[in-house]
Amino acid sequence: MMTAFTARPEHGWAWVTGASSGIGRSLALRLVEEGFSVVVTARSHEKLVALQHEAEGPGKIVVLDGDVTDPRDMERLLTAVEYEHGRVALAILNAGVAIPVRGDDLHLEAFDRSFAVNLHGVVNCLVPLVEHMRANGHGQIAIMSSVAGYGGLPMSAAYGSTKAALINMTESLKFDLDRIGIRLQLICPGFVATRGRVKSNLPRPALVSADEAAERICRGLKSRSFEISFPKRFTYAVKLLRLLPYGAYFALLDWLMAGPGPHGAAPKRKQSPSGKRPSQAV
C-alpha cells in the first residue's frame, strides 16, 4: 500500500464546497490561516464574497460560485481552478442540507432535495476530482458525513439516510483510491451548532461550535486516521448504541425523545404558504 498523502499548502489549492455558512465557512477560514489558497463554492455569491473579505492569513480565498447538484457545473469549476490557479491537492466535500422528516407527514421533496445535495452533490464533485488528482499523481479528499449516518434517528429519515450512504460509499472507494495515491477520509461530527441541523426535540449532548469543528477537522486531515469523528466520547457512544438489539435501541431513543406530543414526538412543523417544507443549507 502506498504511503498516505497529506496535502500541504505547497502541494496545491484546497477546495471547500458548502462554504457559505457553518462548518464549511469555518473550515475555509482555518485553511487560509494554515497557508492554503482556498477555492470556496456555494450558491450564495454574496456570502462567499463576505467570507473572502474576512479571511486573514498567509493563504487566500477565491470565490467560484457553483451548484453541486449540477455535474457539468462541477466539472467546469474544477477545470477552471486548475487552468487559472493550479492543482487542487485537498478537497473537502461539505455541501449539504438538513430537512426534517416525520413519518406521519411524508413529502417527496424532502428526500429528493436531500439526496440531490448530500449524496449526488458529493458524487458530482468526486468524479472529476478523482480524474484530475489521478492525473496529478496524488490528492486528498475528505467527505462530510455525520453521526446521523450511524443509525436511524427521529426526524432524520432523509438526512440520516444520505449520511449513511456517504459512509458506505467512502469506505468502499478507499480500497481503490489508496492504490492510485488519492487519500480518502470520512468526517463524522456529532452535534455542531449550525443552522443546517435537523430540528427535533432530541437532546444535543457534547455540542460544539462550527469553529471548534473546523479546528478538529483540520487536525484530523493531518493525522493518519481514515475517520475524523468528534467529540470522541460521544461519537463512540453512538457507535456502541447501534450495536444494541433493535428493541433496546428503539426503546432508548423513545426514552430520550420523551417530551411534548404523542410518544414524545415533536409537534408538526408548519408548512410555508406554498405547501412546501423549508430546507436549510449547511
- What positions carry a catalytic annotation? 159, 163
DSSP class per residue in 254-282: HHHT-SSSGGGPPPPPPPPTTSPPP--B-
Q: Are 1 and 183 in contact (CB under 8 A)?
A: no
Q: Are 143 and 170 in contact (CB under 8 A)?
A: yes
**What's the CA gap between 271 and 251, in Å, rounded?**
30
Q: Is 264 exposed, middle or buried (0-12, 13-18, 19+ CB in 10 A)?
A: middle
Q: Are 215 and 228 in contact (CB under 8 A)?
A: no
43, 76, 127, 246, 264 from 72: Cα distances, Å: 15, 6, 11, 42, 44
Measured at the CA of 215, the angle between CA 227 and CA 138, to 5 degrees, comes to 55
Q: Which grid coordinates are listed for 135?
A: 492525473
